[in-house]
Amino acid sequence: QNINNSNILTQNYYFKLLNNLNTSTSDYTNLASSIANGGKGWNSIGNSSSNFTGTFDGNNYTINSLVINNNIDSAYLGLFGYINNATIQNIGITNTDIIGGNNSYIGGLVGYNYNGTIKNSYSNGNIEADDSTNIGGLVGYNYNGIISNTYSKGSITTGNNAYAGGLVG
C-alpha cells in the first residue's frame, strides 16, 4: 500500500512480490479487508492524477481476498487503479470482491491501463458497478496497452450504458 506514496508512485521504480498475500499475512488483512480505509477496503494503487509508472513483478505469487467497496463516481479501482507506461506481470489476484460506482474504471487487476503492459497474470472474483462504467475481469479500460498471456474468471455485474468484458471492459 505504501507504493501510493507520491514520492514512490510516479518514480518508475521496480517492485517484486516476495510471497503470497492472504488473510493470514501480517498487516495485509488490515489493508485489504472490508474494514480498511473507512470501510472501503484496499486503496487502489494510482489514480487519474497520480499514475503508477513503474514495474510490478508478482514473482508468480498470488494476492488473495482483495476487497474494494468504493461506490463513488469516477473511481479507478483494482489492485492498481491507473497505470501509465507501467508493467504488471506474473501476478494472480484471487477471490477478489470489488464494488464501484457510476463512471468508474474497474478491473480485478487494473482499472485503467494507459500504454501499459500486463502479462503472465490472472484474476478471479466478483466485480460490480453501476451505470456508465468500463468494467473487466482483469482490466476495466485499456488505452494502447499490451495484454498477453492472461485470463480472468468470475462474475461481472453492471448497470446501464456500461462497457463490460470478461477480460477487458
Digitized pLDDT (tens) for each residue of the chain, 169 residues in all: 788 887 888 889 999 999 998 877 766 655 556 566 767 778 899 999 999 999 999 999 999 988 888 877 668 999 999 999 999 999 999 999 999 988 899 999 999 999 999 999 999 999 999 888 899 999 999 999 999 999 999 999 998 888 999 999 9
- Backbone φ and ψ of 149, nearest 5°: 50, 55
Which ranges constitute the DSSP H helices of the chain?
6-9, 28-32, 36-39
pTM for this prediction: 0.92
